[in-house]
Structures are given as structure tokens and as C-alpha cells.
Structure 1
Amino acid sequence: MSSRRPTVSANIAVAYLRVSTDDQKLGLDAQRAMVASWAGGEGVSVVAWFTDELSGGLDLTDRPSLLAALAALRAEGAGVLIVAKRDRLARDVVGAALVERAAASVGARVQSATGEGNGDSPADAFMRTVIDGAAQYERALIRGRTKAALAAKRAKGERAGTVPYGYAADADGRLTPDAGEQAVIAAVRDLRAAGTTLRGVVAALAAREMVSRAGTHFGLTQVARIAAAS
């Protein structure tokens, strides 16, 4: 069996878009417009679009649309995985490197519509590392500021934001554990500890007929939030 990489074209691209609740500076419409503008200027045909509404800090295995985009590179013979900005790829250095290696394994490369670090020179490689590190740092700052703000509210006896998942609020705003939601949290924690992916957790909760506050099956984003807070 041949181990040669499949033939790919630099004029064919697969697009990947990403938004998350903790980072909404660049919406999906804006990202799509940036990618389309880049493709038009470069004479590249975007043959498939994939979107994740998840944190860029999640493991690659927990980002289904990104995995699908990487698979589409081979299926479509695409030589480019295009993102609007490099921080849409990942919010940490290791995650970005893993995506780049996955693309390279099928003969493709990651490109940014804004052009940062798109070249092959050592300076471009260094720029990509700097950008990925800055994205990781910014994500840590956002999370730190959020935690500090919530802590300050709690110190004043104020309820911070909406009623947190796993609890119910009485008429005076006091929180008490909600048995049903606590059971979901425990299930998510145990499944993740056993190595189950977020998609696997979603399926397991559905199989156990565990539902959200709205009475619907849990989605990937909801499960990711519960797992992050557990």
C-alpha cells in the first residue's frame, strides 16, 4: 500500500469558523466575509465550510466541526485550511500546532485571511508561535477577569449572574443544590474522568434521558460548560 500523500490543490480550500461565549469579538458573518474576501483575492475556491460554537481551548477531539474540516481536506483534495484569523484555529499553542500537523499530514497548510504568519520563512513560523501564545494569554486574562468579578460580587453578598447550573434560587435569591442538575454534573464529571469525549458525554446523557433546564437533550456547548465548571 502506498504511503504517499494524496494530491491536493493550493487553489482549493476548506473554511473553518469558530465562535465561543467568552470571545464574541468576531462573529460568524464577519468571519465568513473575511474568508470569502481572501479567497476572491487569491483565486481560491472554498469548497466546504465548517463551524464550531465552542471554546478554542478545547481538545481537538472535542471540536467536531474542526475534525470534519480536517477530514474534508483529504476528501476534497484541498491544499488550504482557511480561517478568518489565526486565533479562530485555537486558543493555545499546542492546539494550534496539532491542527497544523493534521493539515500537513494530508499535504495541506493553514492560512489566515488576515495574512499573519502565512509564509514559509523562519520569521513567519516565529510569528505564528507568537500569535498562538498571545491568544492563549488573552484567553487566560479573560477567564481571570471573569472569575475576579464574580468573586467580588459574591463577597458583597450579591448573586453573580444567573443561577449557576446545579442549583436553584429561592425567593430571596439564596442558592440550594438541585438534585437533578447535580446528578447531571456528577455524570459529566465521571464520564470525563473515564476519558469520554464531549460528544460521547452528550450521547451518554441522552441515553440516560438526562435533559437540560429547557427539557431538551444537552448540546455539545452545554456539556462543555458543565465539564469546565466541574
Structure 2
Amino acid sequence: MATNDGKFVCYYRASTGRQGRSGLGLDAQRAAVATYLNGGAWQIVDEFTEVESGKNSDRPALDKALAAARLHRASLVVSKIDRLTRSVAFLSRLLEAGVDVRFADLPQIEGATGRFLLQQMVAVAELEAGMISARTKAALAAAKKRGKKLGGNRGVKPTAKMRALSTAAIQKRADVRAADVAPTVKALQAAGKTSLRAIANGLNEQGIPTARGGGTWSAVQVARVLERL
């Protein structure tokens, strides 16, 4: 096994509070990191331990470890690749951290190759998430076709606060969509298409989707967008 030189920041994680208190799993991670470093002119400049679920992307200890690695221009070393989870959002965040990440169970994965591996993991995770979503939608469509009732409040009566939050969310989406369409609408107006119908036709000709993602633009829809600009 090749030796490793340079500075390293170690990150350890236990999945439960009990594991963290007992040290179960942590000792094995430290041993794996020590085996990975395997002599050489290396230096551990800092160590961080986190006791948290792998599904939780909010990890303060990892944030500190990444900050320390950037500060010392060190590599972040982790015992196993699953210690950094397979969450799409989390892996994307890791890629943007600007830190060289090493995995003790994959000693050949480092530098540019390591970054490429993480990028592929993100792509695979995104593909898997998309396939799960597609299967779920297909299953719901099949259930609906069989006459099964979907949705409904399922015994939960919406409160005034819940309705207000729902309305606010809808309004926010509408505002964002209007802002997205605004440059195209202004360009059409500058080109002489000033009536609501002319703007709607222009949006349809350019293939701009409506807020619902389907159908065609109408004068009424254009008017609603203009009210938000």
C-alpha cells in the first residue's frame, strides 16, 4: 500500500447517540484511517466527530471539518464512503466545498479522480430519485384508474394557518413565475406587441410554458402576469 503525505483532517461519524457515547464504530473508523495513512510524512491537523443520522445533511461537525481542511489546505479523510451519505443535495454541497476528499476504503480514489467519482455518485443518485418518482406516479395513476380514491384530507381538517400558508406558497410560486416570464414579455412589448392577445400569441410562438406547464397562453393569463410585475 502506498504511503500518504501531507496534511489531513479526519471526520468520523456515529449513526446514533448510543454509538457515539460507547465509541462503537468510532474506534473502527480511526483504525481504518490509520491504516489508510500507512506511515509517510503525513500530519493530522484536526479531527471532528459527529453523532447524527446519515440522512441528515445538516452536519455542523462536517462543516467545521471542511472549513479546517480549507484553512490548512488539507485533505478530508473519511473511513468509508457511506460515512458521507448518498444524498444528492449533500454530495452536491460536498463537491462545491473545494476540498480534496479521501476515503479509507477506496485508497485509489483521490484528487481529480475522487471528484469525478463524487460527480458520478450525484448523477446516479439523481437518476435513482427520478426513477422512484416515475414509478410512484405510475402506481398512483394505475390506482386512480382502478377507481381508488386518492388524496383528500384523510381526517385532517385544514386550519386557518394551514390555509394561509398554502395561499402564501401559491402566491410565491406565481411571483417567481411572473419574474421568469417578465424579460420575454418586455421584449415582446418592445417589438410592438402591446395587447394582451398579442403578448399571449408571442409567448405561445416561442414555446414558453404556462404556469401550469401545459396548454397555451391566454390574454387573461398575460394580464395576471402583468399585475405581478
Q: TM-score, normalised by structure 1?
A: 0.45
Structure number with greater Rg is 2
Report which structure shows greater RCO (CA 8 Å, sep ≥6): 1
Higher helix fraction: Structure 1 or Structure 2? 2
Higher strand fraction: Structure 1 or Structure 2? 1
Q: TM-score, normalised by structure 2?
A: 0.45
